Amino acid sequence: MYLKTILLSLLLAFGSGVKAQVKPIVIATDQTSLVLTVDGNGRLHQTYLGRKLLNEAEYTALPQGPEAYLTHGMEDYYEPALHVNHADGNPSTLLTYTGHTAKALQQGVSETVVTLADPVYKTEVRLHYVAYAKENVYKLWTEITNGETKPVEIEKYASAMLHFNNAEYYLTQFNGDWANEANLSEQRLSYGKKVLDTKLGTRANMFVSPFFQLALDAPAQEEAGTVLTGTLGWTGNFRFTFEEDHTGRLRLIAGINPYASQYTLKKGETFRTPEFIFTLSYGGKGQASRNLHDWARTHSLKAGNGSRMTLLNNWEATYFGFDEEKLIGLIGEAKELGVDMFLLDDGWFGTKYPRNSDRQGLGDWTEIKDKLPNGIGRLTEEAKKQGVKFGLWIEPEMVNPKSELYEKHKDWIITLPGRREYHYRNQLVLDLANPKVQDYVFSVVDGLMTKYPDIAFFKWDCNSPITNIYSNYEGKEHQSHLYVDYVRGLYNVLDRIKAKYPDLPMMLCSGGGGRSDFEALKYFTEFWPSDNTDPIERLFIQWGFSQVFPVKAQCAHVTTWNRAASIKFRINVAMMGKFGFDIKLADMQKNEQDFCKKSISDYNRLKSTILDGDRYGLVSPYSGQHTATMYADKTKNRAVLFTFDIYPRNGEYRSNVTLRGLDAGRRYVVKEVNRMGNDDRQVGTYSGDYLMNIGLPVFTGAKMNSRVFEITAE
């Protein structure tokens, strides 16, 4: 029946030549509609993207809008979404509508697929649109099929293209460097192009994160205004292009960075692009972030609805300088602290070239005899005895030139023939385009899990970008496939791990936050946002990543960075995410040790609200010397408020902080908790209405001061 309707539409569209015979294709969430229409020539247009109209019939009255997925070589003069070089050398593609399907994937999730084809060349393009009704999130990707008898080359192959027609556009980007990730800056766009991209390959987002906020008509505000927050699920080179044309329209093109990545499609072959995920919020950046957090926990993040383990990591406590005895001591400290897991970091492996520094050993995944005479087994046994889980650091995609792996398998390594190797952090990247290398990387995890089934967690690191870009595997013809095939190879390995060890939690790390995207987070339960654990820096870094990722996925550890900040301040910053420690308990004063333990138990009480509740950024650290973040659970029964005074000015005026996410009609008991050396303090009982309109005087004039408030409905 459905097929018949489509066929009929097609006949009408092409048979009569009458404009708009195919009814508008409306792809809706509970709040937003994306409307596509087909013109009399069969070309597909994006007619609308915005707040859902009450009356669907009115979409037919809308002006047509620009072509939805613009191609190179035809009538358009700006950046295209697609550029195909056909087998005969013709570089142009014309796409016309051939049909569409729409179906429910599950309750509240629908998928629409629009098929377009070139009437002259046998190139077919399928635009996929998955709409998540309640979360108000869309996921878009594209499939490109070569129907010609000979290979074609795709030069540009966007996941998605969207068009806007607003008075003004404001783009917020998130850029930085190692230990300085995800800094926000906003700029007004004007005629021309703004590009956010990377060509770092593996550690793809060391300089710029794969997400952005696009505010329409006016600059983005926290809880007001129309903002599109978008991100690409791709653990490699990405590119977002924002181009405003001479008429003031803006186009957004999101996808793999086509830089040095022309891809040849054999006869019949289909290229599937990564997913571009976005939400369109009418309640500012804050609502956009909550939409994405809800979507991630429910539909995307690995174990999104599951629990997370608190931990003690040894990296900053010992660096490479540990042995069995020290680690056993730390496992005891993990137990004493009351965390769920002990995580052994870098420096435990390498036989011929023991990994006692970052200069050697990477690639040789057997224990260093001197340090661990009884192997990992002795450590998992000790952890078991102490009642804590055991986690292990690996960096299986990489190799130090000083390693047995390098000596044996030079052909597995990405290096340029005839040139001196360039080493980033003294290491090189393995060629994951090669299936043999994929097998090897899988075997690192599988081998460890087989030998030590009590390993309960991996921290998977990736400290180098792709350098010396040349693959022995791709051969002369397909060097430009490497950036794409690398990521596909990585997913192949991760798929195998997920299939064999479905419940194994893993942390994604890349010299801090150099890798963080929603495709990787289908395999990883969490990521390490930054090696910078100075709590003041972390206030900014966590604020940045929280614009997109739920805090459940953001590891936050207490360390000794910035000793001028109290242990309480450092702990309170870390409690706002997936809480852990990377510190030696034995080096602390007794009162500090006690406070660490108390904080774990406070966190265990509050964590369901923090990790699964709605996050409200009440006062941004970017706005001055104070910041406040609140988490409210979905039932509005419980909330937690974290407040921080950074470097307040003497005699400054401090206004109240108004809360959000409560029920105006209910009354709440507010307690200050997690106080060092003191019991909880009753602040008072207030209506939700009062707290959300009048607020509380939570900030102080003290420097580097933090407070935690527990808010419970009566």
What whole-number distance in Å separates Cα of residue 461 and Cα of residue 477? Answer: 31
Output 315 or 440, the one with its CB closest to ligand GLA.
Answer: 315
Residue 544 main-chain phi, psi, to 5 deg = -60, -55
Output 244 or 531, the one with its CB closest to ligand GLA.
Answer: 531
Instruction: Name the residue type at position 153.
Output: E
348 SS3 class: coil
Instruction: Name the residue type at position 165.
Output: N
* 20-28, 241-249, 509-517, 619-627 -> range binding ligand GLA (CB under 6 A): 509-517
Residue 443 CA from chain centroid, whole number: 26
Output 85 or 532, the one with its CB closest to ligand GLA.
Answer: 532
Q: Judge residue 120's burial from the number of C-beta atoms within 10 Å of its C-beta, 0-12 exposed, 13-18 middle, 19 or more buried.
A: exposed
**CB of residue 404 vs ligand GLA: minimum separation in angstroms?**
19
**CB of residue 532 vs ligand GLA: minimum separation in angstroms?**
10
**CB of residue 327 vs ligand GLA: minimum separation in angstroms?**
15
Q: Which residue, 221, 189, 232, 214, is CA-closest to 285?
A: 221
**CB of residue 578 vs ligand GLA: minimum separation in angstroms?**
14
Instruction: Name the residue type at position 519.
Output: E
**CB of residue 427 vs ligand GLA: minimum separation in angstroms?**
10
Site for ligand GLA in 91-120 (CB under 6 A): none
**CB of residue 469 vs ligand GLA: minimum separation in angstroms?**
22
Site for ligand GLA in 510-539 (CB under 6 A): 511-512, 528, 531
Output 206 or 433, the one with its CB closest to ligand GLA.
Answer: 206
Output 347 or 489, the one with its CB closest to ligand GLA.
Answer: 347
Q: Among all residues, whose Cβ is closest to ligand GLA?
A: 346
348 binds ligand GLA (CB under 6 A): no
Single residue of 463, 467, 542, 643 touching ligand GLA by CB under 6 A: 463
Applying CB under 6 A, the site for ligand GLA has a residue count of: 12
Output 320 or 622, the one with its CB closest to ligand GLA.
Answer: 320
Single residue of 197, 294, 461, 534 touching ligand GLA by CB under 6 A: 461
- x-or-dash string of contact with ligand GLA, 542-581, rule CB under 6 A: ----------------------------------------
* 127-135, 246-254, 296-304, 506-514 -> range binding ligand GLA (CB under 6 A): 506-514
Q: Which residue, 539, 553, 445, is CA-closest to 508?
A: 553
**CB of residue 461 vs ligand GLA: minimum separation in angstroms?**
5
C-beta neighbour count of 693 within 10 angstroms: 12
38 contacts 100 by C-beta, under 8 angstroms: no
Please provide the DSSP assignment of 653-687 as one string.
----B---SS-TTSEEEEEEE--TTS--EEEEEEE
509 binds ligand GLA (CB under 6 A): yes
393 binds ligand GLA (CB under 6 A): yes
517 contacts 231 by C-beta, under 8 angstroms: yes
For helices 590-612 and 567-575, give the axis angle rounded to 10 degrees.
20
What whole-number distance in Å separates Cα of residue 331 and Cα of residue 215? Answer: 48
Output 394 or 628, the one with its CB closest to ligand GLA.
Answer: 394
Output 240 or 349, the one with its CB closest to ligand GLA.
Answer: 349
- x-or-dash string of contact with ligand GLA, 261-300, rule CB under 6 A: ----------------------------------------
Q: Which residue, 192, 265, 204, 270, is CA-closest to 232?
A: 204
**CB of residue 393 vs ligand GLA: minimum separation in angstroms?**
6
- x-or-dash string of contact with ligand GLA, 350-389, rule CB under 6 A: --------x-------------------------------
* 32-40, 42-50, 444-452, 508-516 -> range binding ligand GLA (CB under 6 A): 508-516
Site for ligand GLA in 317-346 (CB under 6 A): 345-346
Please provide the DSSP assignment of 542-594 as one string.
HHHHTTTS-GGGBEEEE-SSSTTS-HHHHHHHHHTSEEEE-S-GGGS-HHHHH
Report which secondary-structure segment, H or E, holds 236: none
What whole-number distance in Å separates Cα of residue 474 and Cα of residue 264? Answer: 12
Q: Which residue, 527, 576, 532, 530, is CA-closest to 555?
A: 527
**CB of residue 95 vs ligand GLA: minimum separation in angstroms?**
44
C-beta neighbour count of 647 within 10 angstroms: 10
Please provide the DSSP assignment of 379-429 as one string.
HHHHHHHHT-EEEEEE-TTEE-SSSHHHHH-GGGB---TTSPPP-BTTBEE
Q: Residue numbers of the site for ligand GLA (CB under 6 A)? A: 315, 345-346, 358, 393, 461, 463, 509, 511-512, 528, 531
